[in-house]
Structure 1
């Protein structure tokens, strides 16, 4: 099982690098073959690497997030389907929120909440989202409501990742947190390039940060389950 999972990981890394190469060289027609393969290969790596999670909500949530991400990747390849791709990624983030909540100690305990402290802990995430919206607000036009809804959901995804601090092992927390941060950066670059000002490096930066984000989130969730199994 471990050998099979490593093979899927190598295939994921190879296709990811191939897609970034095609992106950097403007080979958009070839990306129709590479881009739709990235997430399915990562999903296969996750499935073969986590047999202990079979049937559990956390596995279903991550699988759903990756399926919606694959749909988003595919739809975003067609400019006219942008709104549907945005919707698919919004669903992916909702699934990640569920996964992040489940992948922690006592996930549904409320306890005492210090809202002022919580606000300042999450402030860098809010600030980044506000920065992106400030620059793109003039270019989103009729997409204003779906874009704002998407911003709110991705901010919730990132803050849920941060709230796992001290509620899981260190490796799991930092991988998921960094993955969520890279997702924010990736979507921020995509939004600025599409709605504010295009720049030639955007494609590579978007895909590079996106691939890192997805991989770190999956690895972080796996690190949580591996620690739980061991201890």
Structure 2
């Protein structure tokens, strides 16, 4: 069984490298095959490792996040379907928010919250998101409200990943948190490339950080399952 799991990760690595190579070489027609394969392989891997917790809310939320991400990846292959791709990824982030909340010790516990302290801890995340919005705001047009809703959602996902500190094992925390941050960077570069200024390296940066983000988040959930304390 472990060998089958590793095969899915090899497929993920192969698909990611192939996709980045196609981007560098300008082979756009091949992207329709390589891009979906990145998430398909990761979905296959998570399906295998999550069998012991199949049909739990954590398993469902994480799998739903990966499936919505796959749908978003496919939709974004066609520029005129951008708004639908954005919606798919918004749903993916909501599912990750649920998964991150569950993948910690005593997820239902409500303790005292120092909102001022939390605000300053999360301030770097807010600044990055605000800077991205400041750069793209004037060119959003009719997409302004959907993009604002998306930014709020992904910021919530990243801050909840950070909030897991001390509530799960260190390996799980850092994998999920770094993955969430890379997701924000990937989407930020995408937004800047689309709505502010295009640059040739954008595609490689976007997909490189995105693929790494998805892998780290899945491995972080895996680390929580292996060492929940």
* Cα RMSD after superposing both structures: 0.7
Aligned positions of 1:51-70 closer than 5 A? 51-70=51-70
Asked if residue 46 in structure 1 is aligned to residue 53 in structure 2, the reply is no
Aligned positions of 1:1-231 closer than 5 A? 1-228=1-228
What are structure 2's unaligned runs of at least 5 residues?
none
- Rounded Cα–Cα distance in structure 2 between residues aligned with 1:224 and 1:174: 11
**Could you tell me the TM-score, scaled by structure 2's length?**
0.99
- 1:185 match: secondary structure: helix
The number of residue pairs the alignment matches comes to: 229
- Rounded Cα–Cα distance in structure 1 between residues aligned with 2:142 and 2:99: 32
What are structure 1's unaligned runs of at least 5 residues?
none
Q: Tell me the CA shift for residue 125 of structure 1.
A: 0.6
Following TM superposition, where does structure 1 have runs of at least 4 consecutive aligned residues deviating by more than 6 angstroms?
none
Q: Tell me the CA shift for residue 51 of structure 1.
A: 2.2
Q: Tell me the CA shift for residue 163 of structure 1.
A: 0.3
**Could you tell me the TM-score, scaled by structure 1's length?**
0.98
- 1:200 match: secondary structure: coil
Could you report, residue by residue, the CA deviation over 1:163-188 in whole angstroms, capped at 9, with x for unpaired residues?
A: 00000000000000000000000000
